[in-house]
């Protein structure tokens, strides 16, 4: 595997989920595979879960890990070509990426969207250039429009917690927030679930208020409704997440209905398990009673980030 940026980089969805769960049973089964190899993790935005889980996964494979936090002032990267760098940017991504590729066998990079210019964000310019100039395999640690390690961990979690012969109904449910958040997590979750649906693994519905439709690129095959209560009927998994508007790009639109999942709404479901990528704003995005209740999977879901990262790293180190 040379790149892990979207679900399209995975050839065999069901097999890689199984592989991740085998790693969970035997975390050190491949601890020689990464010996003498170095993983570099580049953060243009802060990270807790992604950094720790990916670092842990790499260490379990025997790799050395170097972390670069470039989110501070004074290390602004230039991504445009053909401009004289006489302003605030101190290094071009061409050199920065190529140099890191000299020191690392695999690289990961995180870069959030600015939520100002939709075309710029959705071009994924920074990830694509970094990947193209660094010369080594690259893992997205969340890019402007996707968060594939999260979505892979989510699919692992659903698969792990579904033991019935039927196909589970999975609902991506928009939730309120006070800040304008990227669409990366819901886009990515949606493209992984659509792929899983096509493979007969899940039945996928998206619920969001009017004005919050995701880009159709990520939602092919999904059922989309504008009522949370309607979506929750028969749900086996509810994936709660806020995002800002794609159509009215980066905006928070007024929403009159109650969209926060609480126990009353959870009762509509088929005794559904509740997921969230974290961090979560308690009693704003999701009721504390749900988070602290028996149907919440948010902590083991975060734990599964390790096995997602480890399965991806294993393939980058090996021949797949």
Return residues touching its own copies (CB under 8 A).
Answer: 27-28, 31, 36, 38, 40, 46, 48-49, 51-53, 55-56, 59-60, 64, 66, 68, 70, 72, 74-75, 78, 81-87, 90-92, 94-96, 98-100, 102-104, 178, 278-284, 288, 291-292, 298-300, 302-303, 306
Cβ nearer to its own copies, comparing 34 with 168: 34
Contacts of 67 (CB under 8 A, 6+ apart): 40, 41, 43, 51, 55
Provide the minimum distance between the beta carbon of 28 and its own copies in the complex, in angstroms, as a whole number: 6
- Closest listed residue to residue 137, CA positions, set 162, 166, 106: 106
Provide the minimum distance between the beta carbon of 88 and its own copies in the complex, in angstroms, as a whole number: 10
Residue 218: DSSP 8-state: G
Contacts of 253 (CB under 8 A, 6+ apart): 209, 211, 212, 245
Distance between CA atoms of 56 and 50, rounded to whole angstroms? 10
Provide the minimum distance between the beta carbon of 180 and its own copies in the complex, in angstroms, as a whole number: 14
What Rg, from alpha-carbon coordinates, does the chain have?
20
| Helix/strand/coil for 109 | strand
Find residue 237's DSSP bridge partners. Answer: 170, 273
Provide the minimum distance between the beta carbon of 104 and its own copies in the complex, in angstroms, as a whole number: 8
Direct distance between the N- and C-terminal alpha carbons of the chain, in angstroms, rounded to an integer: 5
Provide the minimum distance between the beta carbon of 57 and its own copies in the complex, in angstroms, as a whole number: 10
Contact call for residues 243 and 276 (beta carbons, < 8 A): no
Cβ nearer to its own copies, comparing 1 with 298: 298
Cβ nearer to its own copies, comparing 138 with 201: 138
Provide the minimum distance between the beta carbon of 84 and its own copies in the complex, in angstroms, as a whole number: 4
DSSP E strands, 141-190: 169-174
Provide the minimum distance between the beta carbon of 178 and its own copies in the complex, in angstroms, as a whole number: 5
Provide the minimum distance between the beta carbon of 308 and its own copies in the complex, in angstroms, as a whole number: 13
Distance between CA atoms of 185 and 227, rounded to whole angstroms? 20
Distance between CA atoms of 188 and 162, rounded to whole angstroms? 21
User: Phi/psi zone of residue 317: left (φ > 0), alpha (ψ -120 to 50 degrees), beta?
Assistant: alpha
């Amino acid at each position: 595997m040379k790149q892990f940026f979207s679900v399209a980089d995975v050839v065999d969805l069901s097999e890689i989920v199984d592989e991740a769960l085998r790693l969970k049973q035997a975390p050190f089964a491949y601890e020689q595979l990464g010996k003498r190899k170095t993983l570099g993790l580049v953060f243009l935005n802060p990270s807790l879960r992604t950094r720790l889980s990916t670092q842990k996964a790499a260490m379990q494979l025997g790799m050395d890990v170097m972390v670069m936090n470039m989110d501070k002032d004074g290390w602004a990267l230039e991504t445009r070509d053909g401009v004289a760098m006489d302003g605030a940017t101190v290094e071009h991504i061409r050199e920065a990426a190529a140099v890191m590729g000299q020191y690392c066998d695999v690289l990961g990079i995180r870069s959030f969207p600015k939520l100002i210019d939709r075309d710029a964000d959705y071009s994924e310019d920074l990830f694509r250039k970094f990947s193209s100039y660094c010369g080594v395999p690259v893992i997205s640690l969340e890019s402007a429009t996707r968060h594939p390690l999260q979505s892979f961990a989510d699919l692992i979690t659903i698969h792990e917690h579904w033991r019935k012969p039927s196909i589970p109904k999975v609902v991506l449910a928009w939730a309120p927030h006070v800040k304008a958040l990227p669409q990366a997590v819901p886009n990515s979750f949606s493209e992984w679930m659509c792929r899983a649906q096509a493979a007969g693994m899940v039945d996928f519905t998206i619920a969001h208020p009017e004005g919050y439709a995701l880009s159709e690129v990520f939602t092919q095959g999904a059922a989309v409704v504008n009522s949370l209560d309607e979506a929750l009927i028969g749900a086996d998994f509810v994936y709660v997440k806020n995002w800002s508007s794609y159509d009215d790009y980066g905006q928070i639109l007024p929403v009159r209905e109650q969209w926060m999942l609480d126990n009353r709404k959870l009762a509509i479901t088929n005794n559904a398990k509740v997921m969230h990528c974290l961090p979560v704003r308690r009693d704003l995005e999701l009721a504390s009673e749900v988070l602290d209740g028996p149907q919440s999977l948010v902590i083991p879901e975060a734990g599964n980030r390790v096995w997602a990262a480890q399965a991806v790293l294993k393939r980058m180190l090996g021949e797949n």
